[in-house]
Structure 1
Amino acid sequence: MKTENLKTQVLAFDFGASSGRCMLGVYDGTKISIKEIHRFSNDPVIVNGTMYWDVLRLFFEIKQSLIKAKSFGKIQSIGIDTWGVDFALLDEYGNILENPVHYRDGRTAGMVEESFKKISKEEFYDITGNQFMEINTAFQLLSLKEKRSHLLERADVMLLMPDLFNYLLTGKKVTENSIASTTQLFDAKNRNWSNKVIDSLELPKKIFTEIVPSGTIIGKISEDISEELGIDMCDVVAVAGHDTQSALVSAPAMEDDFVFLSCGTWSLLGTEIDEPIINEKSEHYNITNEGGYENKASFLKNIIGLWLIQESKRQWEREGKEYSFSELEELAKKTKPFKCFIDPDDPVFVPAGNIPNRIKEYCMKTNQEVPQNEGEIVRCINESLALKYRYALEEIKDCTNKNYKTLYMLGGGIQSKLLCQMTANACDINVSAGPIEATVLGNIAIQLMARNEIKDLKEARQIIKNSQDIINYYPTNTKVWNEKYDTFKEIIETKEAVKC
């Protein structure tokens, strides 16, 4: 641990699906404090029917952040985390061939099934241990090969989003472990690219770069950028580039066996383990294994999260109804409980658009009461999310053969006290909620560990726990929630059977 009163300052860049920010992290040897330096929107752009990320605008915002950070004194390092699966292709000169395509773009429709013609589903899962989702990198690349092969032919390197930003800052082309593990091209057991999967999908091997562990110092900001912005050439650390794995570093768990719920646009519920769990049961449940810090593995389920609330709010704004998230929560509290349920992961809820109308249609098709107003829709979403968390938790427990005393909820979603309490009730488990800024704090902690200023993951979690307020929620009314869980399961499993 650092000598007291000698402070270290680092920058954490955290990119989400709708916004990004640069946070200053200050470590005094005992606690980590954070301050927002710059926040900016992350707006996808649709061109000729394709949804892109505006990557050059995002890099401009990184530069603006670095300029603003000058007023805070010496910065020792920076780290960048983002969402998973998306990427850019670079040509032989290091130029971006086209803007990265958004994972919500429709280009991957049917690609999962197409991949099973090239490699069996069983072998595919046995190698990668990844939950099959159309958004995964493997299926994006397969779509390119099938429909736009000229781009792959011109490509020299593929860089996932955090690695792309690291490259633009340093000129170094490497892939960080946690973000690689989101691609469904990663051998989860051997922790490297899978030649078998890459060959089976007939993808060019040359585009895949060296994989480095989370917490690797990959280089310094380039001289060109240093001169352009008038800043020092500080270190760039490949933190856990997938935001979920940076967030997990912040879980204030002192026990070895625990479950976590990273709650934001996506919800990711799982447990931290030493080795991947890949077997018939985990394949049946479609549970994913991701690489984490200190060579840990995260055994988790991806669940559509607060996207449903966020996109509903956007729809109501388009209709001229302006609500804050807290106002929507208050409306939900005043409505009748357990009126109707949805499966948050039904494919109908993935694309952007009129989510409230789709929820009404879902309830009609499943012979339930139809929510009539904003409060009823928000309550339906929250109750359904809480019950889906229980559904996933039961799958996790069945695979690990372990019981857990506490569920650690992390991230912006914990600002919804209603959702936190519903999660405790639905899962019949104590919920420890915090920190809100889990991803940023994990990003900062990894940088400090890379600098040997924090010894290891256990010490990092203790420091973060001491630095943040944690709120506990305890289960209530569990008998009613157990009854409603049976109803919820019947609705989503019957609908799934009809689809099959």
Structure 2
Amino acid sequence: MRAEVDTTAGTLALIEVRRFATPAARQSDGLHWDAPRLFDEVLAGFGTAAATGRLDSLGIDTWGVDYALLDGAGDLLGLPFHYRDGRTDGVMDAVVGKVGRAALYERTGTQFLPFNTLYQLVAEQRDAPDRLRRAATLLTMPDLLHHWLSGARGVEFTNATTTQMLDWRTRTWDVGLLQALDIPTQMLAPIIAPGTRLGTPLPACVARMPRLDGVPVIAPACHDTGSAVASVPSGGGVAFLSSGTWSLLGTETNAPIVTPAALAHNFTNEGGVAGTTRLLRNITGLWVLEGCLRGWRAEGQTFTVEDVLEGAAQRPVCQSVIDPDDIAFHRAPDAAAVQAWCARTDQPVPATATDVARVVIDSLALAYRRGVEALAEVTGSEVHTIRVIGGGARNRILNQATADATQCRVLAGPVEATALGNVVMQLVVLGAVRTLADARALVAAAFPPEEFTPRRRQPWDEAAERFTSYGLRLRS
């Protein structure tokens, strides 16, 4: 994305210059990210953006958790593993058994997800201890791309907080925790703050893209959700819902909340910008619907997602529900998985694509309701407004279902919240805007949200009881 900003006129525009699928690679030892190819795509995007006009700065954000290992010469020690690889199966339970769930949460304030960096490194130590011993530097994915672009070596704070390896009190690596799990620590890089100037593109990059010469490289909130949340205000009774393949539901706080209630509801305390904390929990998002669509296309169906959603909007709500966070939907969900879940819980089994989509949409809205109720318990503030940001903000049927299920006002947009939050941090660092609040006001004026108000509550209250009982039944 390229942003064009006129702070005098108060205008902000985003221009998409390049879009590509994130390249993965299946190797004999598992699923990896093709990091060199990913960097080639990013560099090509910067080159295209530079060809359309002068660039004032560059910044990269990606997903969290995953990492690369570099040797002393700066070379990759293999392609980075993909967080959906199965090597961490059972590792989280083993670590919790050794350290203790409450003790681990008290140290890190991080939610328990089986693919957290901590568990990936335990798996790495089990499977390839020599690689860890040889590693001179560990960089999370956006930090690797920034390193190849500018030469800087550091782990940006918002992304570091997704690893479950930081002491939330000191905001530094918990070396003692890693040593207790027999994980080497010599490869830990310095932690850098969002908004750090990293330098300018290296000669090798300039040789490929000459227009990048001398352009400042700025670390935004390098975790994509960190950038997305930076684009809109939240806090108090306002929650954010970063809606995409994953849904991240939470709010900004002035400090981490590490309490028994936060642990019980598996809330994480991730780094935010301007000294804030993103208190949130992960919810399986549109991943389930995306899996259904892949399956239907493999069967030769030609309908689009718009066709499916338009049909689903005409179906009655809450006829059947699934728990999208159930393990049945973690790896490769499809319509058959949705139908099987409904059959196991003695609910009507959806037969058509539109019926399946209706089940998924309603179930996501109920998962958001569960998250909103938990957020209110943890923070002590009732939620009255949900800011839906990211690609899911386009899904009007889901936005309305979310308003109905939660009985909250829903403000949907901006869609490109991650890109805008990345831009926000660069604007602040460059001095183009004075404060984060000023930058967010610029975003709000340029990309006003669409509002959804709650409608009939009764069917959602009844469905919420079934939603909870079905999940408990399958887990018992």
Does residue 1:370 correspond to 2:349, yes or no? yes
Partner of 2:254: 274
| Structure 1 position 200, deviation (Å) | 1.6
Q: 1:25 to 1:43 in 2, by over 3 A?
A: same
Give the Cα–Cα distance (whole angstroms) in 2 for the partners of residues 199 and 327 of structure 1: 53
* Unaligned segments of structure 2, at least 5 residues: none
| Structure 1 position 275, deviation (Å) | 0.5
Partner of 1:35: 15
* Mapping 1:47-58, distance limit 5 Å: 47-48=27-28, 50-58=30-38
Partner of 2:303: 323
| Structure 1 position 279, deviation (Å) | 1.1
Give the Cα–Cα distance (whole angstroms) in 2 for the partners of residues 149 and 364 of structure 1: 44
Partner of 1:3: none
Give the counterpart of 1:116 among 81, 91, 96. 96
**Which amino acid in 2 is paired with 1:169?**
L
Does residue 1:457 correspond to 2:420, yes or no? no
Cα deviations by residue, 1:432-464 (Å, 9 ceiling, x for unpaired): 111111111000011111112122221111111
CA contact (8 A) 1:86 1:102 kept: yes
Does residue 1:335 correspond to 2:319, yes or no? no
Does residue 1:216 correspond to 2:196, yes or no? yes
Instruction: Select between 337-346 and 132-141 the one with higher mean Cα deviation.
Output: 337-346
| Structure 1 position 334, deviation (Å) | 2.8
* Unaligned segments of structure 1, at least 5 residues: 1-22
Instruction: Select between 218-227 and 464-473 the one with higher mean Cα deviation.
Output: 218-227
Give the counterpart of 1:243 among 221, 224, 233. 224
Partner of 1:7: none
Instruction: Select between 65-74 and 409-418 the one with higher mean Cα deviation.
Output: 65-74
**Which amino acid in 2 is paired with 1:427?**
T
Q: Which runs of 4+ in 1 moved over 4 A?
A: none
**Which amino acid in 2 is paired with 1:388?**
A
Partner of 2:4: 26
Q: Report the 3-state secondary structure (helix = DSSP H, G, I; strand = E; otherwise coil) of the residue aligned with 1:409.
A: strand
Give the Cα–Cα distance (whole angstroms) in 1 for the partners of residues 134 and 361 of structure 2: 46
* Mapping 1:95-494, distance limit 5 Å: 95-231=75-211, 232-252=213-233, 257-352=237-332, 354-494=333-473
**Which amino acid in 2 is paired with 1:131?**
Q
Q: Report the 3-state secondary structure (helix = DSSP H, G, I; strand = E; otherwise coil) of the residue aligned with 1:206.
A: coil
Q: Report the 3-state secondary structure (helix = DSSP H, G, I; strand = E; otherwise coil) of the residue aligned with 1:89.
A: strand
Instruction: Select between 87-96 and 257-266 the one with higher mean Cα deviation.
Output: 257-266
Give the Cα–Cα distance (whole angstroms) in 1 for the partners of residues 18 and 109 of structure 2: 37
**Which amino acid in 1 is paired with 2:197?**
I
Give the Cα–Cα distance (whole angstroms) in 2 for the partners of residues 219 and 70 of structure 1: 17
Length-normalised TM-score, structure 1: 0.92
Q: Report the 3-state secondary structure (helix = DSSP H, G, I; strand = E; otherwise coil) of the residue aligned with 1:335.
A: coil
CA contact (8 A) 2:388 2:410 kept: yes
Give the Cα–Cα distance (whole angstroms) in 2 for the partners of residues 47 and 175 of structure 1: 27
CA contact (8 A) 1:89 1:156 kept: yes
Give the Cα–Cα distance (whole angstroms) in 2 for the partners of residues 374 and 85 of structure 1: 33
Cα deviations by residue, 1:39-83 (Å, 9 ceiling, x for unpaired): 111132212251111111111112211221232221111111111
| Structure 1 position 384, deviation (Å) | 0.3
Give the Cα–Cα distance (whole angstroms) in 2 for the partners of residues 79 and 257 of structure 1: 31
Q: Report the 3-state secondary structure (helix = DSSP H, G, I; strand = E; otherwise coil) of the residue aligned with 1:270.
A: strand
Give the Cα–Cα distance (whole angstroms) in 2 for the partners of residues 384 and 256 of structure 1: 26
Instruction: Select between 440-449 and 144-153 the one with higher mean Cα deviation.
Output: 144-153
Cα deviations by residue, 1:229-254 (Å, 9 ceiling, x for unpaired): 2122211111111111100011255x
* Mapping 1:11-90, distance limit 5 Å: 23-29=1-7, 30-48=10-28, 50-90=30-70
| Structure 1 position 256, deviation (Å) | 5.4
Length-normalised TM-score, structure 2: 0.97
Give the Cα–Cα distance (whole angstroms) in 1 for the partners of residues 169 and 350 of structure 2: 46
Q: Report the 3-state secondary structure (helix = DSSP H, G, I; strand = E; otherwise coil) of the residue aligned with 2:98.
A: coil
| Structure 1 position 257, deviation (Å) | 4.7
Give the Cα–Cα distance (whole angstroms) in 2 for the partners of residues 458 and 181 of structure 1: 23
Give the Cα–Cα distance (whole angstroms) in 2 for the partners of residues 229 and 462 of structure 1: 34
Give the Cα–Cα distance (whole angstroms) in 1 for the partners of residues 181 and 216 of structure 2: 37
Cα deviations by residue, 1:13-39 (Å, 9 ceiling, x for unpaired): xxxxxxxxxx00111001221101111
Cα deviations by residue, 1:132-183 (Å, 9 ceiling, x for unpaired): 0111100000001112212111111110000010001011110100000000
Give the Cα–Cα distance (whole angstroms) in 2 for the partners of residues 387 and 487 of structure 1: 10
